[in-house]
Amino acid sequence: MSEVLICGGAGYIGSHMAQWLAEHGHSVTVLDNLSTGHRGAIRWGDLIEADLLDPAALESAFHGRSFDAVMHFCAKSLVGESVAEPYAYYANNVTGTLNLLEAMRRHEVNKLVFSSTAAVFGNPVSDVIDEEHPKAPINPYGASKLMAERFLADAAHAYGLRSVALRYFNAAGALPEHGIGEAHACETHLIPNVLRAALGQGPSLKIFGNDYDTADGTCLRDYVHVQDLAQAHALALGFMDRHEGAHTFNLGNGQGFSVHDVIATAASVSGVAIPYEVAPRRAGDPARLVASSDKARELLGWTPRWTELAPIIESAWRWHRDQPRWSPHHIHADASIQAA
């Protein structure tokens, strides 16, 4: 079994990754600066409290330890914030990644699984997006992730780094039985905001546009359960054992669910009528964002278990329902449909 360093292991996907690896016999160490992650989510493995922007702290984290691979989830990831504060995003997501790669090279760790995003594609030119779709990010967040993917390709050629970049579409769901779920202070994702509206937390829910060319007029998005994402990352470890170079995979359910689908399913799961209001469209929101994950299925052997919307939302509902009430100052009840 492997010794794995999870950078960002106190966050949403990182904590689920730590749980999956520990359950399957791997040894886990979490590195996190706890700026957006949660100390209470670190239940599997030791914590190294450090920042990727601090090379000395990274050197200390690697010194005297032996890791077989690194999983990199550390990133600023709010699209709107990236537009307002691009320097902070390039520093954190680009410089931080470069610092990590340099530390790995110094300490001869040559396998990295990188958390990327569908935001590298920008506005889609096809209804279903595969890995060859044009990459034209429309915000600094997506651009910073695409730059990091380029680092990995260059590092494979120059230094023999083996890497897998996994481009998520919309991560969703939770593992309430393990006490972990999606807990962002500034929440921009649709499902948690719909569930908060069901719990009466925060202002009214908004749907941005109901006149798209879709069956019910609202945007379609591809939701993939966080546990299925964790499984894909674990499969990537084995893939790197067998393959040199830098590789990219899209991860999604392969199905599009509309904003109305999410609201209706959440109402059914929770037993609560969920109020919402319709607002004008937002610039840059495409009608459909759906992944083709054929490459991941074929080469990684990835088969998502959570293929229906209701179980995904039900897992998130049970987690949100049992959490302490959030402060209204930290609730942003937008029906956001950005790619995660």
Please give the positions annotated as active site: 141
Write out the two tokens for 301.
């052997």
The count of residues in the chain is 340
For residue 31, the cross-strand partners are 7, 48
Write the single-letter amino acid at 323: Q
The CA distance from 248 to 104, in Å, is 20
Relative to beta strand 69-72, strand 128-129 is unpaired
Q: Which of 140, 110, 119 shows the shortest CA–CA distance to 5?
A: 110
**Angle in degrees, CA 84, 89, 90, rounded to 5:** 120
With beta carbons less than 8 A apart as the criterion, state whether 247 and 239 touch: yes
Left, alpha or beta for 164 (phi > 0: left; psi -120 to 50: alpha)?
A: beta
Distance CA 337, CA 188 (A): 8
Cα Dmax for the chain: 58
